[in-house]
């Protein structure tokens, strides 16, 4: 129920920001479309912990701030390879294990890897991620550890107090 409420608030806020109108007509259309979306989501059974993760919003925002720093660093690294000599790249395919227990944590970890330039998640099988990296030394055994730890702590339940 709380997940449905979170989705309701998010959809309402989304509509309001996009339209910027509060006249009765627009309000009525907003109510209709939000209810229709809620009904479709309920039919698809996606209103659950993974589909409506707004209860983790503070942690997700903190994580986003850290991830942005990583993205900036990775951008600089990839630019150096783009303008560098053609033999500067050293592609590699590595297996990475996610320590997250929830699907949300695994999805967050896999998408974070893909979002940082220089690494792409090719496949996810259970907790194992197949990752393609532009440079081998950026995909060593422990280079994903920090991201794994942080994403698991962000998305997994009852892990907020652990280090």
Partner 1 sequence: MAEALHWIGGALILAGALLSILGAVGVLRFPDVYTRIHAASLTDTGGATLMLLGMGLISPLGFVMLKLLLVWGFIMLTSPAAANALANAAFGAGVRPRIGTFQIMGEDKPGGSGPERSGEGTAS
Q: Kindly list the residues in this chain that would bind partner 1 in the complex (CB under 8 A).
A: 14, 17-18, 20, 71-72, 75, 78-79, 81-83, 86-87, 89-93, 110-112, 114-123, 130, 132, 134, 136
To partner 1, the closest distance from the beta carbon of 20 in angstroms equals 5
- 145 and 114 in contact (C-beta within 8 Å)? no
For residues 33 and 111, which CB has a smaller minimum distance to partner 1 in the complex? 111
To partner 1, the closest distance from the beta carbon of 142 in angstroms equals 20
H or E stretch including 89? none
Distance CA 163, CA 159 (A): 8
To partner 1, the closest distance from the beta carbon of 6 in angstroms equals 16
DSSP string, 81-119: HHHS-GGG-B-EEEEEE----SHHHHHHHHHHHHHSTTE
For residues 65 and 162, which CB has a smaller minimum distance to partner 1 in the complex? 65
H or E stretch including 24? helix 24-44
For residues 45 and 87, which CB has a smaller minimum distance to partner 1 in the complex? 87
């Amino acid at each position: 129920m709380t997940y449905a409420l979170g989705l309701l608030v998010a959809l309402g806020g989304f509509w309001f920001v996009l339209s910027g109108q509060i006249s009765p007509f627009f309000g009525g259309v907003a109510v209709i479309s939000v209810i229709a979306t809620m009904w479709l989501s309920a039919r698809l059974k996606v209103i659950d912990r993974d589909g409506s993760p707004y209860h983790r919003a503070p942690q997700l925002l903190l994580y986003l701030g850290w991830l942005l720093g990583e993205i900036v660093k990775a951008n600089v690294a990839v630019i150096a390879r783009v303008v560098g000599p053609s033999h500067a790249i050293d592609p590699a395919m590595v297996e990475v294990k996610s320590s997250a227990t929830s699907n949300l944590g695994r999805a967050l970890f896999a998408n974070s890897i893909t979002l940082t330039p220089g690494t792409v998640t090719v496949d996810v099988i259970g907790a194992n991620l197949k990752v393609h990296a532009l440079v081998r030394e950026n995909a060593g055994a422990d280079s994903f550890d920090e991201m794994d730890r942080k994403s698991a702590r962000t998305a997994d339940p009852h892990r907020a107090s652990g280090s």
